[in-house]
Structure 1
Amino acid sequence: MFLFLVIALAVVVAAVTLAVVGGSESDGPLPEVDPERLQDPLPPDRPVDRADIEALRFPLTTRGYRMADVDDALTRLGAELAERDARIADLESALAGAQAAAHHAFQKPEQGEQQ
């Protein structure tokens, strides 16, 4: 009787395993699924703004996020931040030059009046 129960248990386990794995050949193997891609990538035709960053959602995969999507977004954001930093530095330099010129022009007439 014990041997019968062990054999019956083995048959049930094998049947459940085949059903889960897909042992029937009529359906064929499971179809390949395209990897989930980023639905709303960052806009390529204009600079990224705050709303774009807030709306950015990466699709989940088995082990977290798709590294390629995250790397692409971080590369894009890094490049745009570097451009903005360079632009800010240029504008600050131009402003400092304009302020120095205005200060210099303002100081010259006062010096001429004192003589």
Structure 2
Amino acid sequence: MFMFLFLVVALAVVVAAVTLAVVGGGESAPLPEAAPERLHDPLPEDRPVNRADVDSLRFPLAARGYRMADVDDALGRLGAEIGERDARISDLEAALAGARATTAPSLEKHGEHGGRVEDEQR
């Protein structure tokens, strides 16, 4: 019986010592509060977002945050879609500029009523 009480008291002393060591019951200064890591938004505010902006975007890590692979996949898809959109817009702008260039000379040949100059002379 005496041995059992001795082991219980020894166990309590060990648990108390470990708890004090972990909590830091000494005279050392407490650790400073760590500022939470925040996303510094590197996306430009003065121009539209392009593929390079999305490729360089990285989210901070968190203990209970997101799955990096999922976010990276989403960002990859978003970047690809923005790249395709920009290419399509460039193609459409080039086609529009070409259409305007070909219609400008023909507008000079038309009269006020939209007929050709040759038709008006007849």
TM-score, normalization: structure 1?
A: 0.51
Query: What does residue 57 of structure 2 align with?
Result: 56
- Alignment coverage as a number of residue pairs: 83
Q: Over aligned residues, Cα RMSD in angstroms?
A: 3.8
Residue deviations 1:67-109 (CA, integer Å, cap 9, x gap): xxxxxxxxxx9xxx8xx8xxx6xx79xx5xx79xx6xx8xx76
- Are 1:36 and 2:37 counterparts? yes
- Are 1:45 and 2:46 counterparts? yes
Query: What is the letter of the counterpart of residue 21 of structure 2?
Result: A
Distance 1:22 1:44 in 2: 46
Query: What does residue 111 of structure 2 align with?
Result: none
Distance 2:23 2:33 in 1: 15
TM-score, normalization: structure 2?
A: 0.48
Distance 2:44 2:23 in 1: 42
- Unpaired runs of 5+ residues, structure 1, are 66-76
- Unpaired runs of 5+ residues, structure 2, are 67-77, 107-114
Query: What does residue 13 of structure 1 align with?
Result: 15
CA-CA distance at 1:31 after TM superposition:
1.1
Which structure has the larger Rg?
Answer: 2
Distance 1:16 1:43 in 2: 51
SS of alignment partner, residue 25 of structure 2:
coil
CA-CA distance at 1:12 after TM superposition:
0.8
Change (3 A) 1:2 1:32: same
Identity %, equivalent residues = 72
Please give the residue correspondences for 1:1-115 in structure 2 after superposition, counting only pairs within 5 Å: 1-24=3-26, 26-39=27-40, 41-64=42-65
CA-CA distance at 1:39 after TM superposition:
4.5
